[in-house]
Amino acid sequence: MIIAYLIMCAMIVLSILYLYYSVAVRSGKRIDANQQVFSNVRRAEITEEVEAGRLTSQESAQLLLDIEHESRLQPIKKSHFFHTDVELARWVMLAIVAVAVLGSVSLYQSMGYSKDVFFTQDLQNQQLTPQKISAFLQYRSRRYDRVEDWYYEATDFVSTGKYTEAIIAFEKALDRLPENAENRTTLLVEYAQTVFYANGNQSSEKMRRVVDQILKEVPTEAIALGLKGVSEFDQKHYLGAVLAWQEAIRYNPRSAERIALLSAIGKAREAGAINYEQVAPIITHQVAVKIEWEPNRLQWHSDDILLVYALVEGQKMPVAIQRVLPEELGQPILLTNLDSPMPTGTLVDLKKVDLMVKLSNINDNDLTKGRIIGIKESSLVNSKEIIVIKVAL
């Protein structure tokens, strides 16, 4: 591409030089003609002066020699090609400029800069569609061939349910990512999930290999542990499924996923006839909370996060805490004996707790900060009831 660009620049420069040279030669020809006319006039004047007796023969001879000398000093005529009419140079330059302009536009299009410009314009004008975004992501991955471009293409395919295409894009991203990269595990987890989805939400040998690779590097990776449990269950290794899913619960604080894992563990226990004496439950004490609010009086913001506490009466430090995003409030929040911020106090051996909801900022890591927007006192632990807390500012 760069070579083609340089060739077109050279063509434009040469055409301009040719036009300039042609114009200069044309001007020189006009000067030659004018000089010849001037010489003839001077000779006629000298003849008249001699006939009138105002010049001697020696003076007239000297003047004629001077005129002859001046004529010989004129530039030698150029080659025939450059002496042709300047009109040819104009047409040649016009043709070269036209080729160069059209070639530049074609080069601009083939290099893809127009796609970047159009995408930016659509983004500014809020005219982007899912099809335009997908097409742009695919163009960028093939143009730049970078890890992040292949990753964005893969996640876009996942969002549209094109899992086979997403697997190919994930593999290209992984091929270009260094083995010791910090985000390699995260990419492998998404890749394993996509392989799982592509196989109809069933485990496969390919998924197992990826999951084993992840857990070898990070044994506490919750999503990989969940997929390992699925693999064990599909192979009817129910004890392995229970153990894997319990570890997934240990390292996954999200209430919705914990509830799903608890349900899966129940199925595995039933299928494998695994009682609590064989494998003790990892969650022994819990409180289920449901948060309700009036939409016309409370609007959530993008940086909002809710802190849900379980407190012992008379104490300020919670025995269990969950950080919940507003979009996760559609399902119950599960406070368990695993959610204690301090190892000295948990829900174990407690019959009742006070529940408190605080509104905090997602960027604030201090779990004690926030504005209290809801309280529920004397709530039973290990009750089958889902405790409703109405919040308001």
- Answer with the residue of higher pLDDT: 126 or 380: 380
Do the Cβ atoms of 316 and 327 come closer than 8 Å? no
- Answer with the residue of higher pLDDT: 57 or 386: 386
Please report the pLDDT score of residue 345 as a whole number. Answer: 81
pLDDT exceeds 50 at position 56: yes
Q: What pLDDT band is residue 38 in, cutting at 50, 70 and 90?
A: low
14-43 average pLDDT score? 62
Q: What pLDDT, in 10s, does the model give residues 293-337?
A: 998 888 899 899 999 999 998 788 899 999 999 999 988 999 999
pLDDT exceeds 70 at position 110: no
Strand partners, 387: 289
Q: Mark 283-321 as b/e (b = at least 16 C-beta within 10 Å).
A: bebbbbbebebeeeeeeeeeeebbbbbbbeeeeeebbbb
Q: Which tokens is 18 given? A: 């040719």
Please report the pLDDT score of residue 214 as a whole number. Answer: 96
Please report the pLDDT score of residue 34 as a whole number. Answer: 57
- Answer with the residue of higher pLDDT: 142 or 167: 167
pLDDT exceeds 90 at position 15: no
pLDDT exceeds 80 at position 250: yes
Q: Which tokens is 366 given? A: 């201090």
pLDDT exceeds 60 at position 377: yes
- Answer with the residue of higher pLDDT: 173 or 11: 173
Please report the pLDDT score of residue 51 as a whole number. Answer: 73
pLDDT exceeds 50 at position 275: yes
Q: Which tokens is 299 given? A: 């609007």
Please report the pLDDT score of residue 78 as a whole number. Answer: 44
Q: C-alpha distances in angstroms, 151 versus 146, 161, 354?
A: 9, 15, 45
207 vs 51: CA distance, rounded Å = 118
195 vs 189: CA distance, rounded Å = 10
Please report the pLDDT score of residue 77 as a whole number. Answer: 45
DSSP 97-152: HHHHHHHHHHHHHHHTHHHHHHHHHHHHTT---HHHHHHHHHHHHHHH--HHHHHH
225-237 average pLDDT score? 96
pLDDT exceeds 60 at position 244: yes
pLDDT exceeds 70 at position 137: yes
Q: What pLDDT band is residue 92 in, cutting at 50, 70 and 90?
A: confident
> Quick check: pTM over 0.85?
no
Please report the pLDDT score of residue 281 as a whole number. Answer: 94
280 vs 265: CA distance, rounded Å = 12
For the beta sheet containing 333-336, the strands, ordered from the edge strand earlier in sequence to the opposite edge, are: 333-336, 286-292, 386-390
Q: What pLDDT band is residue 80 in, cutting at 50, 70 and 90?
A: very low
In this structure, of 23-27, 178-182, 276-280, 334-338, the range with the lowest mean pLDDT score is 23-27
Please report the pLDDT score of residue 12 as a whole number. Answer: 67
Residue among 233, 267, 5 at smallest CA distance from 113: 5
3-state secondary structure of 388: strand
In this structure, of 3-7, 212-216, 304-308, the range with the lowest mean pLDDT score is 3-7
In this structure, of 32-46, 312-326, 332-346, the range with the lowest mean pLDDT score is 32-46
124-150 average pLDDT score? 86
